[in-house]
A and B are shown apart, each in its own frame.
Chain A
Amino acid sequence: MKKLLSGNEALALGAYNAGLKLAAAYPGTPSTEIMENLARFPDINTQWSSNEAVAVEVATGASYTGVRALAAMKHVGLNVAADAFMAASTTGVKGGLVIVVADDPGIHSSQNEQDTRHYARLSKMPVLEPSNSQEAYDFMALAFELSEHFDTPVILRSTTRVSHSSSLVETSAEKQPAAQAAFKHDTAKLVMVPTAARVRWPKVLKREELIGEYAENCPCNQYIPGNAKLGIISSGIAFQYAKEVFPEASFLKLGMTYPLPKNLIKEFSQSVETIFVVEELDSVLEDSLCRMGISVIGKKYIPRSGELNPDIIWAAAIKAGILPEIKDTLPKINTPDFPKRPPLLCAGCPHTGIFFTLSTLGQRSALPGKPKREPKLVLSGDIGCYTLGAYPPLSAMDTCGCMGGSISQAVGMEKAGLGEPVIAIIGDSTFMHSGINGLINAVYNQSKITILILDNRTTAMTGHQGNPGCGIAANGQTVTEVNLEELVRGAGIKNLQVLPAFDLKALRNGLKNAISSGELNVIIVRGECNVICRKRSLPNTIDTSLCNRCDACLLLGCPAIQRDGDKLFIDPGLCTGSNCNLCSQVCPQKAIKTNEAA
């Protein structure tokens, strides 16, 4: 049956039809929808794990009982999971184990760009790279078979454009039955004490060789004959772009990019005059080919950074002299630099109040016409919706590097002897992910920072997934909530305040007290994400006869407050009314009226 599926939907359905029993993931764009789609199948055990290392460990444990298991994450998540990932490679598997990693070329929604194929070389695991939804579906079944046949976890690498594009998929009506869990004691394989690991590792190296031999005939590596002048070697979405640009060329399309089918590549290279390697991100394929003594062109013309598209490949081919300059070029359009439209904290966002408070206390924003001041307070940030507080007008974030890093980085600054107060800002989900490690460290090392945990009761940035603190499981069921206050107190925090997110006075006083105490403080700022709780009342309105255009309300950065010529107004379609009311608390003229629902 033909269906239009996104790459992530196809990966999920492929795994389900392959008899998957358990799936674990931490949400992260562009990988999130894999778990969201798996969680719709009641016969698969699904979980949002607290972080990616946990997800890989959970899936590995399941595999040890002989069932098929999967862990999914984005590229940076694999860094978190690297230890668990290497451990799984060493022991190998019992039931098939697939680790899906979605890279983000072009950094649409990440803190960096990295090429997961490098991890394959490190771990000696095979990598499958689908180039459309059909292959995402088919390669999933293949990945489980390879995993069990070669006793290895398999990396299934996607990229944003594969995960987040939809194409037609011929799906199978049949579903393989899932295996029953059973544990067979096998310490030589599963207990990696040095004596056992020393025996196991050469087997991993041998396994890599065997998979390389298999790759020569793997149906996922395709030779597509064409013009003998030009041969293209490519993989993943880059193949689809290259196919668009060179419809006549010969192609070696690699569905498995590690280990490589060396003989197949040699044969191909002898059958064409010029070889152009078209790959997104790093020169992983090109470097391997060069080591094999094959002369190719590639990254000299194709950028190593950013997302590819047909136009980039077209331009590269012209520069390389492979394609002629197009004569009938389109007119070069000259347009002004249009204003950007960066994402913003939503109207009614529970993070707006605390960022506004930090911004005013930290002297980060100034009313129009007033001079800018030197910012006070150092704000150590983290990853989530609240990272958007870094944009003007709030501008209330000074660092943001990796999941859970805010608290530890703040401790580092304080311990380095920074004179100003240091404040760490982290969301509830990120705190549960790995921020808690930083908290424990801060307690143990007697740090004097203030830690803000912004608890909006969800993992909002990736689309409102559950986390241990909000008591909603991946399949939507209500489960036990991990109590944030008790957790923080249990770690040894003496000074804990829980403040309401929409009360500016309480936020300001609480924050001032915490900073001036000079001790280690945790403030939980609690307010539900408005996008999910949808609490709203009649929208606020601006009494234009009272408004003197001081623009203080605009410093909130609320998208509902807009300008029409010289007048400010509140968009009734966006405003959440008295559920938020931050603007009426900010207005010195009392010009913003709240309209309580009758």
Chain B
Amino acid sequence: MKKFGILIVGVGGQGVILASNILCDAAMAAGYDVKKTDTLGMAQRGGSVVSHLRFDKEVSSPLIPQGQTDLIIAFEKLEAARYMEYLGKQTKAVINDMAMPPASISLGIAEYPSDAEILEGYKQMGIKADFIAANQAVKELGNAKMLNIYLLGYAASYLPFDHEILAGAIKKRLPPKLLEGNLKAFAAGYAASR
């Protein structure tokens, strides 16, 4: 297999880091060499968060070179657009159809971009993105905190290993009392992608 690069992007507090840790565990369980790195800006106070994750027989750089992202999971729409330079023609995109406007937008200094603007780069690259209403879905499942696991479930079908391996990694990372709900969220996400 060629190196597989996953970019997970979102806003501080959405559970991006936990999601990428779980994906790492899964890739490791699937027998790959794994490297990952998170960029948090100044700590984690509501800023833009990006996690690079790569696996292969052997990985050198933890940062994904431009164009070599195979899968992007965006927890927020604007963040989906911010890291466009890493995308390539082969990229599969899972985008949570939800806007978290930065403070500059509430203050009227800036405008939140339209979906068309957000997707312009994807269009130029020929990437068909899956827009999914993940917040609504986890709300119906009863816990907004399961957003990251739902999104992992949705993205599981784009991975080069079985989704059961990812479910196994979730079981290992999460405390027992949160497990049942999250596994349900994972299954719901996976079902929604098929």
Contacts and interface: CB of A to CB of B under 8 A. Distances in A.
Contacts of A562: 101, 106
A109 interface: yes
B81 A388 contact: no
A334 B11 CA distance: 23
Given A335-B121, A341-B11, A343-B43, A563 B101 contact: yes
Nearest to A247: B60
Interface centre among A167, A168, A392 (most CB of B within 10 A): A167
Contacts of B11: 341
A240 B78 contact: no
B46 A240 contact: no
Interface stretch (A309-317, A413-421, A511-519): A309-317
A341 B47 contact: yes
Interface in A309-365: 309-311, 314, 330-331, 333-336, 338-346
B36 interface: yes
Interface stretch (A70-78, A267-275, A553-561): A553-561
A561 to B, nearest CB: 7
Interface stretch (A158-166, A256-264, A488-496): A158-166
Chain B, interface SS category = mixed
Interface string A231-250: 00000000011011000000
Nearest to A161: B37
Interface in B1-51: 11-12, 24-25, 28, 33-48
Nearest to A131: B60
Contacts of B36: 165-167
Contacts of A368: 107-108
Contact of B104 (A108, A132, A340): A340
A482 interface: no
B178 interface: no
B162 interface: no
B181 interface: no
A309 B65 contact: yes
A29 interface: yes
A395 to B, nearest CB: 12
Contacts of B25: 4
A388 B41 CA distance: 12
A330 B40 contact: no
Contacts, number: 159
B63 A335 contact: no
A166 B24 contact: yes
A348 B10 CA distance: 22
B32 to A, nearest CB: 9
Given A165-B37, A244-B60, A344 B43 contact: no
B37 A331 contact: no
A428 B99 CA distance: 36
A4 B106 contact: no
A393 B124 contact: no
Interface string B50-77: 0000000001111101110000000000
26 contacts: A2-B28, A4-B24, A164-B37, A165-B37, A167-B34, A167-B62, A240-B60, A240-B61, A310-B65, A314-B65, A335-B81, A338-B82, A339-B78, A340-B102, A342-B42, A342-B102, A343-B41, A343-B46, A343-B47, A388-B45, A392-B109, A551-B107, A554-B107, A559-B46, A563-B106, A568-B106
